[in-house]
Structure 1
Amino acid sequence: MPAVALAVTDGMLHYELSVAVEVFGSDLTHTVDPWYDFALCGNGPVRVGRFRLEPDHGLDHLARADTVIVPGWADPDREPPADLVEAVRAAHAAGARVASLCTGAFVLGAAGLLDGRRATTHWAHTRELARRHPLATVDPDVLYVDNGDVLTSAGKAAAMDLCLHLVRLDHGSANANRIARRLVVPPHRDGGQAQFIATPLPEPGNHPLADLLPWVLERLDQPLTVEDLARRARMSSRHLGRHFTHLTGTTPLKWLHTQRIRHAQQLLETTNATVDTIAAATGMGTATTLRRHFHRAVGVPPDTYRRTFGSSRSLRDGGRERR
């Protein structure tokens, strides 16, 4: 019977913690026998949101588990508790498979388990995770990353994706699908968290691109070049690139491409326009080009995205969109 230990301490996110308890801590022997030997581990009573938990064991028990789950950490701007970090590090050294849910990745990072590995976390915190742990390769687009002995998931619902993935590894796809049906969730979701990411524009203000960015957004249907943007901003292309990197963290062309994709998402969500029409409106040219770039950036094709996020209006005719 595989042993799963859930590492808990004050300040963890109750949703991710509850997902792990529901999947690994429920009695599912009627579906898979043997199921998991589950333990809640923490050094004393733990406050999680408005709830108080009484762990079964101390954090030192993590080292006895086959799999250690670290739920989301509510305040990733703070360093996680040293006793939690040390216990997770010791468990991995003892041979445990360690998985983090959402911002629990910051605990794994503090334990040194992300160095030299791919990792992810909630998209809103991927930059901070990458900044704090430069030896890790942080992927902001995926739902989860499996390195074998170290696994990380993106935010919220992706915690369920990773938990079901662990069940699939331990008990096979058929049993993971049965558990997913019991929980009324998909056994596997297409795409990554890129489809959920909101990419805000820089705040309006007194900066060199304040007039340029709105001008560009009104002309996404046009074949703009870096030279066009530089000419509009009345600066050299090199100077423009420096301002873009400082303000947006990316190059002018990458920023422009991202805005085209985001505009396509908005049109798929709110209109019944065909993919051909949206391709023209976003400067992608053809439906084939839009589909290729959209799938690469968002992780799913445009029609799948529309079915997931579209309003009643966009779904009414969009489900029968012309190819």
Structure 2
Amino acid sequence: MSHRVVVLALDGVKPFDLGIPGQVFGYASSSSGEPLYEVSTCSLDGGPVTTNQDFTIQVHNDRSALATADTVIIATQDHRDRDLPGPGGLDDDLAAALADIAPTTRVISLCTSAFVLAATGMLDGQSATTHWALCEEFARRFPLVDVNKSVLFVDNGRILTSAGAAAGIDLCLHVVRRDHGAAIANATARRCVVAPWRDGGQAQFVERPLPEHGDASTAATRQWALERLSEPLSLADLASHAHMSVRTLTRRFRAEVGQTPQQWVIQHRVDHARLLLESTGLGVDEIARAAGFGDPVLLRRHLRTHVGLTPNAYRRTYASTPPSSVDPRENTWGQGSVPVDRGNGFERP
């Protein structure tokens, strides 16, 4: 049975944001082609919804759909400062509709709809994000929420929030990856013609000046590195290929992808290891070498840091191919909090 996603459209909804869940989850399918999600849209009364553009949208469900959803997504509204809700500031109909959501249902806000979730108290004591231009106002209105303006999305488990516009795509792909693994999320991203992964801890791309004339991009070096993930890749190697100093390379990486070169390489090595765990029967030692970690201890450490699972636990959850071996050295305790690697984990030992 497919997972039921219900998208709540409120007056002033942005059509682009409203279409994101249907586009991403609608493309997600199993290896045999079966749809993994059923996406529907509702309004509070089942009637037409005004958008922030020059048309209205007719939906086919009312608020009762929220009570039967596995995941509820609140689409972005075009708020002006005076319209943004504060604590307890929701109208009665909306507050009652959100109260009908089951306590086990996953709830996602896109962009400014984080204000709606926060007004219910759902985000009290949790980390959250919203559109970068409104983060200060969000923090002022909701002091019990830990606001992070430097991320694309925040995953608290049951409650997830995203930053502005296209960050909703990143968050929906993250949910597909969390539910069904990297291979299906990557296939979904290809069908949507978007990048399969931008780390949730990555800085938002806002108000950065365009490169000055003659500035070089790191794109060619990033492609070069992706083709050599199994090899040692030092900062000096990357800087040499880019014909830049280490300092300039690091600055350009931060400007272009929101991460340091070390963070970027580790993220892609983890992603490659996840794909190998899902789609091959290679042992953990072999995958550690193929992904560029060299030492399986580094692979375990970084995988647990990024996804909260050891390699064997990840494989049991997501693999389409039975493993050829199980590493008895692993503590397969599963999900939970993970230790942070204080070393850079960048070069292989």
Normalising by the smaller structure, the TM-score range is: 0.5 to 0.7
Q: Distance in 2 between matches of 1:29 and 1:173?
A: 12
2:142 to 133, 136, 139: 133
CA shift for structure 1 position 30: 8.2
CA shift for structure 1 position 97: 0.3
1:84 to 84, 94, 97: 94
What is the number of residues matched between the two proteins?
A: 228
With over 3 angstroms needed to count, the CA separation of the structure-2 counterparts of 1:76 and 1:274, relative to structure 1, is: closer
Q: Which runs of 5+ in 1 are unaligned?
A: 199-264, 276-285, 306-323
Matched, 1:177 2:120: no
Q: Which runs of 5+ in 2 are unaligned?
A: 219-244, 265-349
With over 3 angstroms needed to count, the CA separation of the structure-2 counterparts of 1:32 and 1:295, relative to structure 1, is: same
With over 3 angstroms needed to count, the CA separation of the structure-2 counterparts of 1:191 and 1:9, relative to structure 1, is: closer
2:259 to 296, 300, 310: 300
1:283-309: CA deviation from partner (whole Å, max 9, x where unpaired): xxx95499389849x83248999xxxx
Give the equivalent residue in structure 2 for 1:22: 23
CA shift for structure 1 position 76: 5.1
1:1-323 to structure 2, matched below 5 A, reads 1-25=2-26, 32-42=33-43, 43=45, 44-48=47-51, 49-75=53-79, 77=81, 78=83, 79=85, 81-93=91-103, 95-190=104-199, 194-198=203-207, 266=209, 268-272=211-215, 287-288=246-247, 291=250, 295=254, 299-301=258-260
With over 3 angstroms needed to count, the CA separation of the structure-2 counterparts of 1:25 and 1:175, relative to structure 1, is: closer
8 A contact 1:191–1:299 mirrored in 2: no
Q: Distance in 2 between matches of 1:37 and 1:181?
A: 20
CA shift for structure 1 position 60: 2.5
SS in 1 for 2:164: coil
TM-score by length of 1: 0.61
Give the equivalent residue in structure 2 for 1:218: none
**Amino acid in structure 2 at the alignment position of 1:18:** G
8 A contact 1:72–1:102 mirrored in 2: yes
SS in 1 for 2:21: helix
1:129-156: CA deviation from partner (whole Å, max 9, x where unpaired): 1111110001000000000100000111
Q: Distance in 1 between matches of 2:126 and 2:176?
A: 22
SS in 1 for 2:184: helix
CA shift for structure 1 position 25: 4.4
CA shift for structure 1 position 5: 0.4
CA shift for structure 1 position 21: 2.1
1:28-61: CA deviation from partner (whole Å, max 9, x where unpaired): 5786424212221111211123332222221122
With over 3 angstroms needed to count, the CA separation of the structure-2 counterparts of 1:19 and 1:274, relative to structure 1, is: closer
RMSD of equivalent CA atoms: 3.4
**Amino acid in structure 1 at the alignment position of 2:96:** E
| Aligned-pair identity (%) | 45
SS in 1 for 2:40: strand
